[in-house]
Amino acid sequence: MTGGATVTRNEKWATWTCVLGWPVQGIWPKGADSTEINAVARSNHKIPDGYHILAKGDDSSKVSLLRYPSLQKGSEAIVQNGHSSHVTNVCFSRDDKYLFSTGGEDNCVI
């Protein structure tokens, strides 16, 4: 009998903001512990190649963009700096035109 992540791996969710789960297992760098990534947000619309975009904010003040679903551990990402310390949250605007991030120490919204 199957259970847990296997049962829900093909479920189509309206949004995705959980750092743990089947479609985000590739966001973790090799050798990472489970505390380095603070937030994720999936885009609301698919891009022309058929995928959503996933944003992640981490303890190293970086915001990264990956394909969603991201299944391979250590998946390739576009990585940007912006905050002076850990990123506490990320969120796409309703039309996916903007990506917002909040910083923990700098108290900024970028």
DSSP state, 8? H
Phi, psi of 35 (to 5 degrees): -115, -5
pLDDT at 1: 59
Confidence of residue 31 (pLDDT cuts 50, 70, 90): confident
- Average pLDDT over the chain reads 90
Phi, psi of 29 (to 5 degrees): -65, 155
| Cβ-based neighbour number of residue 25 at 10 Å | 16
For the entire predicted model, the pTM comes to 0.87
Which of 29 and 17 is assigned the larger pLDDT? 17
Query: Each residue of 59-89: pLDDT tens digit?
Result: 999 999 999 999 888 889 999 998 999 999 9
- Domain map (residue ranges) of the chain: 13-103
Q: Which two tokens stand for residue 30?
A: 């090799």
Task: Please state, in angstroms and rounded to a whole number, the distance separating the CA atoms of residues 105 and 61.
Answer: 10
H or E, element range at 91: strand 87-92
